[in-house]
Amino acid sequence: MNCEVCELKEVEVEHYEIREVLRCILHTILFHRALGLVRPKDVDCELFEITYVQCGDPEIEKKIEDKIDEFINKVDKHPNRRSQICLSFYDTKNKQPSWFISKVERLYWETWCINLHVLNPKSLPKSHQNKVIDAGACAFEETESHRAALESSLREVLFQIIKFANEKKDHLPPIPSNKEGASFPYEITIVSSSESSFGWHADVFKRMLQTGHPTMIG
C-alpha cells in the first residue's frame, strides 16, 4: 500500500491563532477522509472570514481539541519555532507475535503534514519596542496585515487540501459499511523542529519502510 504524503504550505501564526488555524485545517482534512456517514456542520472561524466543515462527530472533535492543546503546550515551552502536526491514516495488520515485534502493525497509507511557524512577539527587534510614538497605530496595521496574509494563506491551504484529496483517491482502502464518522483509523502526531531538521523526515521514512513502497508526493 502506498503512503501518500501531502506537505501543506507553511503558515505563520501567532500564538492566539494556533487553535483556530489547526481546527480549520484538521477538520477539513478529516471531512475529506472520514468517509463514514456524516452530518456536516458548518463552522465559522472566529478570527477569519472562513467557513469550514466539520464531520459533526464528537469523538473527532475531542481528539482534535486534545491534540491542539498538546501542541500549544509544546509551543509554550519552545516558542518561535517551526512546528509540524501530522495527521496520518493507517490500516492495521495483525502480525505474528514475537519477542520484539508487536502484534498489531500499522500500515500508513496517507500522511498530511501541517507546517506552522509560531511567531513570538518577544522576538521583535528592540527598535520596534522602543518606538512609543505611533506604536499603537503601527501595531494595529501590522496585526491587520498579518491577519489578512494569514487568512489568504489559510484559504490556499484549504484549496490545497481539496485538490489533493480529490486527486489522490486510488490508494484509499475500501470504506467499511455501516460506519459513521471516521471510517479509517487515524492518528495525530506533533513534530517540532527541536527534534532536528530531519525530525519529520525520519518519521515519514519510518512509515515508508513499514509500507514497503515509498512514494513521496507533496
Q: Interface with another protein includes 98 (CB under 8 A)? A: no
DSSP 181: S
Q: Among 202, 197, 187, which Cα is nearest to 30's?
A: 187
**Cα–Cα separations (whole angstroms), residue 188 to 21, 22, 65, 167:** 15, 12, 11, 22
For residue 44, count other CB atoms closer than 10 A to its CB.
9
For the record, the C-alpha cell of 95 comes out as 502480525
Shortest distance, position 137 Cβ to another protein, whole Å? 21
Interacting residues with another protein between 11 and 30 (CB under 8 A): 28
Contacts (CB under 8 A) with another protein, residues 28-47: 28, 31-32, 35-40, 42
Instruction: Write down the least CB distance from residue 71 to another protein, Å.
Output: 23
Give the x-and-dash track for 150-179 against another protein (CB under 8 A): -----x--xx--x--xxx-x--x-xx----
- Contact between 179 and 37 under an 8 Å Cβ cutoff? The reply is yes
Backbone angles phi, psi at 134, to 5 degrees: 60, 20
Nearer residue to another protein within complex by CB, 182 or 208? 182
According to DSSP, residue 57 is labeled -
CB 162 → another protein: shortest distance, Å? 5
For the bound state, the minimum distance from the C-beta of residue 14 to another protein, rounded and expressed in Å, comes to 21
Instruction: Tell me whether residue 24 or residue 75 sits nearer to another protein (CB atom).
Output: 24
> Between 47 and 86, how does the x/- string for binding to another protein read (CB under 8 A)?
--xxxxx---------------------------------
Nearer CB in complex with another protein: 37/135: 37
Q: What are phi and psi of 33, to 5 degrees?
A: -120, -10
Specify the residue, 52 or 71, whose C-beta has the smaller distance to another protein.
52
Give the integer Cα–Cα distance in Å for 174 and 55: 19
The residue among 8 and 208 lying less far from another protein, judged by its C-beta, is 8
Cβ count within 10 A of residue 49: 8
Residues in binding contact with another protein, number by CB under 8 A: 26
d(CA 93, CA 99): 17
Do 54 and 32 touch, CB atoms closer than 8 A? no
Kindly tell me which of 65 and 180 has the beta carbon lying closer to another protein. 180
| Residues binding another protein (CB under 8 A) | 28, 31-32, 35-40, 42, 49-53, 155, 158-159, 162, 165-167, 169, 172, 174-175
